[in-house]
């Protein structure tokens, strides 16, 4: 009997219900009860971007996809981009960013339903701890959207947990998400017409948490 694909169990309504139950005032709920990892997370992301040459002169425009309450936007993206757009389906999270300096367009919609402005091009598309809410098919479609709105010298960054379950993706009933393997991500990148220019495991996270991997992507 065939094993049910992990991503076939994803339910977007269940995921939204979970996140709507989370307190929007601080990083505790957003980081699953591990708010203290934020500093090492942000520093690791800065270091990774530095290796790509993203430092010094500010980028013109970035987008924070699955932005939550804007933790990454405030601590990282606004320091390297003049304007940061937001994609976040939970209203109470996205509304927390209204009128914040440097915030551009706010799309209160899931990544699978996001329709970017065709005339807007991004120098940096940041995806962190959010892609597990998309099925494999939706993720390929999403990456293909990202390709079309990336500036000529732009980067697509993916920073996600890695499955530790013997080469298989793992479904989490709590927030209706999937934790994928490195192999699965690479397969989906290839199907999307993206190539990996740099990748590394994040350092400094507590033992017992999933490994976290960063990917720097550009169109083939």
Name the β-bridge partners of 196: 217
145 in helix, strand or coil? helix
Contacts of 67 (CB under 8 A, 6+ apart): 73, 86, 87, 88, 93, 94, 97
Q: Match 């551009």 to its residue by tokens.
A: 104
Name the residue among 6, 4, 3 with its Cα closest to residue 180: 6
Name the β-bridge partners of 212: 161
Alpha-carbon distance of 135 to 146, in angstroms, equals 16
Confirm or deny that 147 is annotated as ligand binding: no
Confirm or deny that 128 is annotated as ligand binding: yes
Alpha-carbon distance of 116 to 96, in angstroms, equals 21
Q: Which residues define the annotated binding site?
A: 66, 71, 128
Q: Which residues define the annotated binding site for S-adenosyl-L-methionine?
A: 66, 71, 128
């Amino acid at each position: 009997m065939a094993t049910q694909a992990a991503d076939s169990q994803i339910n977007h309504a269940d995921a939204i219900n979970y996140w709507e139950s989370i307190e929007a005032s601080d990083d505790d709920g957003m980081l699953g009860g591990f708010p203290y990892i934020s500093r090492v997370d942000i520093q690791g992301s800065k270091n990774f971007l530095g290796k790509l040459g993203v430092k010094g002169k500010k980028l013109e425009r970035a987008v924070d996809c699955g932005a939550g309450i804007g933790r990454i936007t405030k601590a990282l993206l606004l320091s390297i981009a003049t304007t940061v757009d937001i994609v976040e389906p939970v209203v109470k999270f996205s509304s927390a960013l209204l009128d914040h300096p440097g915030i551009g367009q706010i799309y209160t919609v899931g990544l699978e339903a996001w329709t970017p402005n065709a005339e807007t091009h991004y120098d940096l598309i940041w995806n962190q701890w959010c892609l597990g809410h998309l099925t494999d098919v939706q993720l390929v479609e999403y990456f293909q959207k990202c390709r079309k709105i990336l500036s000529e010298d732009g980067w697509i960054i993916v920073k996600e947990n890695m499955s530790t379950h013997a080469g298989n993706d793992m479904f989490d009933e709590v927030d209706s998400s999937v934790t994928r393997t490195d192999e699965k991500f690479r397969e989906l990148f290839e199907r999307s017409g993206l190539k990996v220019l740099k990748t590394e495991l994040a350092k400094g996270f507590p033992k017992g948490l999933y490994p976290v991997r960063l990917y720097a992507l550009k169109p083939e």
